[in-house]
Amino acid sequence: MILKWGSHNHEQDEVGVKIHYRSVFDKFGRRIGDVQEWHILGAVIGTSQSNLTSKLQTLEEAYQTDYQNLGLYLNDGSTATRHTVDNADTFGGTHVVYFGYVEGPWKMQLEYANRRTFYIVIRAEIRVQPDTLYAWKERLTIKGTGGKKFRYMPSMNAAPEPQDLMQSTTWFYVQQGMAIRRKSYPLQPGPIFPVIEHQEQRRIAYDTPKEIRVNGNELYMITWQYVMEATAGQGFTQFLLPAVTT
């Protein structure tokens, strides 16, 4: 097998590779992609210590650059295996997240005599394409009970005295929420009780995408607030939730 990172080709069977896949989910528990981690362990072999030093410099320079294509190829060097990552297909690009040298399983202190063992970790995230709803949350705050309103009148030489101002008051309903969509702004719901809404107090806010990456942006959030007022209780029972499909 031959491992390729961008334009850098490893020698045949120079490395061993372990690949991990970790799923990424939205807030509804639906899988929206995977994070791949390639753990690469190998050894560079030189004909002399100076030759080994030169090869290690080439290796280090190759892995100082992110956003490269990565893949395992058959021994002919051109036939790709199942294990390839095209940088253009990733969300955020391919990244070298670790590069270092370790002691190999050699005897007689061969490290830097004619070989040097290296360890590399490369990470890439692949997202599935549908532009679906990512998260949703709403809250309704009810202020007041319709009861009377009073205040305490201050006194110079005695305790404050209560004074009734109104025999009945209104109910306030404050509806707040947020929604996040993968690739575009979602539509906000309307007020629960539209007839009693103070339309002049309506607030709709749009945030920049939460994830701004190479090869695309995701997680567009919108928030809303409606203020409603009534002279009688409105009998709230439940929210109208979005339909979640697989």
Tell me the average pLDDT of the chain: 94
Quick one: tokens of 19? Answer: 């690949």
Question: What is the structure's pLDDT at 15?
Answer: 96
pTM, two decimal places: 0.85
pLDDT in tens, 70-123: 999 999 999 999 999 999 999 999 999 999 998 877 665 678 888 899 999 999
5, 31 contact by CB (below 8 A): no
HEC profile for the chain? CEEEECCEECCCCCEEEEEEEEEEECCCCCEEEEEEEEEEEEEEECCCHHHHHHHHHHHHHHCCCCCCCEEEECCCCCCEEEEEECHHHCCCCCEEEEEEEECCCCCCCCECCCEEEEEEEEEEEEECCCCCEEEEEEEEEEECCCCCEEEEECCCCCCCEEEEEECCCCEEEEEEEEEEECCCCCCCCCCCCHHHECHHHCEEEECCCCEEECCEEECEEEEEEEEEEECCCCCCCCCCCCCCCC
pLDDT at 107: 62
120-129 pLDDT, tens per residue? 999 999 999 7
pLDDT at 104: 75
* pLDDT tens for each residue of 55-76: 999 999 999 999 999 999 999 9
- Domains of the chain with CATH codes: 2-127 (2.40.30), 133-230 (no CATH)
Q: Which residue has the higher pLDDT, 31 or 109?
A: 31
Cα–chain center distance at 223? 19
